[in-house]
A and B are shown apart, each in its own frame.
Chain A
Amino acid sequence: MSPAGCPHVSGFKVENWKQNLRLIYQCFVWTGSTETRKRKAKSCVCHMCGAHLNRLHSCLYCVFFACFAKKHIHEHARNKRHNLAIDLLYGGVYCFMCQDYIYDKDMEQIAKEEQNKAWKMQGMGERYSTWEPTKRELELLRHNPKRRRITANCTIGLRGLINLGNTCFMNCIVQALTHTPLLRDFFLSDRHKCEMQSISCLVCEMSQLFQEFYSGHQSPHIPFRLLHLVWTHARHLAGYEQQDAHEFLIAALDVLHRHCKDDNGKKANNPNHCNCIIDQIFTGGLQSDVTCQVCQGVSTTIDPFWDISLDLPGPSTPFWPLSPGGDGSGLNGESHINGATTLTDCLRRFTRPEHLGSSAKIKCSGCHSYQESTKQLTMKKLPIVACFHLKRFEHSAKLRQKITTYVSFPLELDMTPFMSSSKDCRLNGQYQQTVDPFNNDNKYSLFAVVNHQGTLESGHYTTFIRQHKDQWFKCDDAIITKASIKDVLDSEGYLLFYHKQFLEYE
């Protein structure tokens, strides 16, 4: 079991062996270009039986391809005393003396280099290779057999948060963020390279937070440094706004985004095209189309967004009627919906064409004059994590009350009807096409729900988060308990976090 391979490779490692080996890898194993791939497909057949599969191997001493399954390569090895052969699919080296695949450090080094080269040539960027322990690390691990492993029934990743004095508005957001899978993966794989002073970097503190959550410690964490950092970098939070969890989320994302920008070498050149992890995960594009009622000319703008704020049916808000014809203007604000309002209803209302009225005429570049128009919002680009904010607190509203209307929200959400591309498939807000079951682009899964209990004057925030596929937990400051899916779906809902189900490479 020597990492240096086997003693029989020394016979191979003579003269120009490195170059020869590279050639074999380039031509017959990791084919990087179309020509080499075609050549491999055509010429790599068993010289004895003509098979092109059956675990084809190439002799390392001469030009001979033979299959492993029918032992043709073994025959060749015996006849010619050529003891080494290479598997053409995965590049493993087989020693006929040892009768096993061997792992020689020098040969593996060459194999790895050639594989990376071929990968890059095919336009697939850097090839990811899993971590392998060094000899010393292996020794240490053997001597220390206690392991902390994340299994389906494990508390690792869960941790309570001490309330620092009505800071549940911060705690509930921290729970949602630490359970955002992509964010967790980013920080746990140490992807943040800090170029600021670490002590004042919120991203570093976030990274530290993940370490705390995955440390296995069961006592609640005290997020005082986090609070200090957010408040020093987002002074506008002072005052009564600071208690709103939604405000805190946006402020936190903004500070993280600012501190992350230093990471990618993009020094605030183009704030709209930042490629930091926050933008990659949370930023979507909202399309606004203003249509002139006279010439039907459309003026389109696309704005980035981190969350979607949705109006709810309330005493002063005329809501979207589902009856055909009419867009709700002139109606007296009663909900036409029997049964509970759904998140989909709110989204339909959000993306409905809205007549702007004669007091809000838009200057039309087609007509060169002020005309009445309709405006419609749709999703141009969906973020990986979509955050829906149900507007339960209207500070500017005449009635200063919390809107406690129950809104039912689903575990799985298909955003297709609300996309810009689906605009023409809608009639009176109803999506006319049947949802394509094979189109996975716009499917989302719920993973966190922030709830507010109480009144506008005083209340308390808690979060439901999802661990693993369908285990839910309630995070109430320092107390983490198991919750059922029913608990989650029956809750009022204030901030809803959905995660894209299928991620694509760009």
Chain B
Amino acid sequence: MKMEEVSMSSLDNGKLEGLAQDILSDLVEDACLGLCFEVHRAVKQGYFFLDDTDQESMRDFEIVDQPGLDVFGQVYNQWKNKECVCPNCSRSIAASRFAPHLEKCLGMGRNSSRIANRRIVTGNNTNNKSESDQEDNDDVNDNDWSYGAEKKESKLTKKIQIVQT
């Protein structure tokens, strides 16, 4: 027995509708069979259990939705004393002050050039450590972290003055 080719144009709408339904149900059945094979293989090869998870872990990672607590069930604002090591100068810096430190450490931003120029002009030959201490003291009242664009201009003029003297 063999399959025959039939031209689609010879079929009326009813037949086509029926064919479409047949094909759809075949596809669904094939898909189900595929899933069965996947599971069968997983069980036989011994890795079916991998999907399981233990209750304790599930509980550990459950989302918490309560006032005053974050999703992990932790109280807000307990992370005050984090530290990190600066990739540039290898010093240990308080995490919450890392960005201003890095700005100076990398010589970026307005303050760095101001301080560098001051160093040049006054011929400051104190050692590096007190330099950076000075810099750190500088930014206690820092207004860098704002959109204050007007400050930039005046510092630039000052820098030019210093260089020109």
Chain A residues with CB under 8 Å of chain B are: 1, 3, 41-43, 45, 47, 50, 52-53, 55, 89-90, 92, 100-103, 132-133, 138, 141-142, 145-149, 151, 153-156, 158, 160, 162-167, 216, 218-220, 222, 224-225, 227-228, 231-232, 235, 237-240, 243, 393, 395, 456-458, 473, 478-482
Q: Within the assembled complex, what's the spacing in Å between the Cα atoms of A160 and B69?
A: 13
Q: Does B115 contact A (CB under 8 A)?
A: no
Query: Cβ of B46 and Cβ of A166 under 8 Å apart?
Result: no
Which residues in A have their C-beta under 8 angstroms from that of B147? 240, 243, 393, 395, 456-458
Which residues in A have their C-beta under 8 angstroms from that of B6? none
Closest A residue by C-beta to B113: A238
Which residues in A have their C-beta under 8 angstroms from that of B54? 145-147
Q: Does B118 contact A (CB under 8 A)?
A: no
Which residues in B have their C-beta under 8 angstroms from that of A166? 99, 145
20 A-B pairs within 8 Å (CB atoms) are namely A90-B34, A92-B37, A103-B41, A103-B45, A146-B57, A147-B57, A149-B53, A155-B62, A156-B61, A160-B70, A165-B99, A165-B100, A224-B98, A228-B106, A235-B108, A240-B152, A243-B147, A393-B147, A457-B146, A482-B65
Query: Cβ of A163 and Cβ of B149 under 8 Å apart?
Result: no
Query: Cβ of B30 and Cβ of A89 under 8 Å apart?
Result: yes
Query: Cβ of B96 and Cβ of A162 under 8 Å apart?
Result: yes
Query: Cβ of A220 and Cβ of B1 under 8 Å apart?
Result: no
The contact of A228 among B2, B70, B96, B102, by CB within 8 Å, is: B102
Query: Cβ of B97 and Cβ of A165 under 8 Å apart?
Result: yes
Q: Does B40 contact A (CB under 8 A)?
A: yes
Query: Cβ of B33 and Cβ of A90 under 8 Å apart?
Result: yes
- Identify which of B9-17, B79-87, B127-135, B157-165 touches chain A: B79-87
The A-B contact count (CB < 8 A) is 170
Query: Cβ of A149 and Cβ of B70 under 8 Å apart?
Result: no
Which residues in A have their C-beta under 8 angstroms from that of B30? 89
Which residues in B have their C-beta under 8 angstroms from that of A222? 82, 84, 95, 98
Q: Does B154 contact A (CB under 8 A)?
A: no
- A151 and B72 contact, Cβ closer than 8 Å, known pairs A103-B45, A219-B79, A457-B146: no
Nearest first, the 4 closest Cβ-Cβ pairs linking A and B are A165-B99, A238-B108, A218-B72, A166-B145
Which residues in A have their C-beta under 8 angstroms from that of B96? 162-165
- A240 and B148 contact, Cβ closer than 8 Å, known pairs A155-B71, A165-B97, A222-B84: yes
Q: Within the assembled complex, what's the spacing in Å between the Cα atoms of A457 and B149?
A: 9
- A101 and B40 contact, Cβ closer than 8 Å, known pairs A1-B46, A222-B84: yes
Which residues in A have their C-beta under 8 angstroms from that of B8? none
Q: Within the assembled complex, what's the spacing in Å between the Cα atoms of A151 and B51?
A: 12
A173 → B minimal CB distance (Å): 14
Q: Does B50 contact A (CB under 8 A)?
A: yes
Closest A residue by C-beta to B145: A166
Query: Cβ of A41 and Cβ of B3 under 8 Å apart?
Result: yes
A92 → B minimal CB distance (Å): 6
A215 → B minimal CB distance (Å): 11
Q: Does B63 contact A (CB under 8 A)?
A: yes
Which residues in B have their C-beta under 8 angstroms from that of A228? 86-88, 102, 106
Closest A residue by C-beta to B100: A165
Q: Does B58 contact A (CB under 8 A)?
A: yes
Query: Cβ of B98 and Cβ of A155 under 8 Å apart?
Result: no
Beyond A238-B109, A239-B110, 20 additional pairs, beta carbon < 8 A: A3-B45, A43-B3, A47-B1, A92-B37, A103-B41, A133-B47, A133-B50, A138-B46, A145-B52, A162-B96, A164-B95, A164-B97, A165-B99, A222-B95, A228-B88, A228-B106, A232-B106, A238-B103, A479-B76, A480-B70
Which residues in A have their C-beta under 8 angstroms from that of B138? none
Q: Within the assembled complex, what's the spacing in Å between the Cα atoms of A166 and B149?
A: 17
Query: Cβ of A155 and Cβ of B100 under 8 Å apart?
Result: no
Q: Within the assembled complex, what's the spacing in Å between the Cα atoms of A393 and B110?
A: 22
The contact of A243 among B61, B100, B145, by CB within 8 Å, is: B145
Query: Cβ of B98 and Cβ of A480 under 8 Å apart?
Result: no
B72 → A minimal CB distance (Å): 4
Query: Cβ of B2 and Cβ of A42 under 8 Å apart?
Result: yes
Which residues in B have their C-beta under 8 angstroms from that of A167? 99
Q: Within the assembled complex, what's the spacing in Å between the Cα atoms of A220 and B70?
A: 11
Q: Does B74 contact A (CB under 8 A)?
A: yes
Closest B residue by C-beta to A473: B71
Query: Cβ of A153 and Cβ of B50 under 8 Å apart?
Result: no
Q: Within the assembled complex, what's the spacing in Å between the Cα atoms of A379 and B50?
A: 46
Which residues in B have their C-beta under 8 angstroms from that of A100? 44
Which residues in A have their C-beta under 8 angstroms from that of B84? 222, 224
Query: Cβ of A153 and Cβ of B63 under 8 Å apart?
Result: yes
The contact of A481 among B26, B50, B71, B82, by CB within 8 Å, is: B71
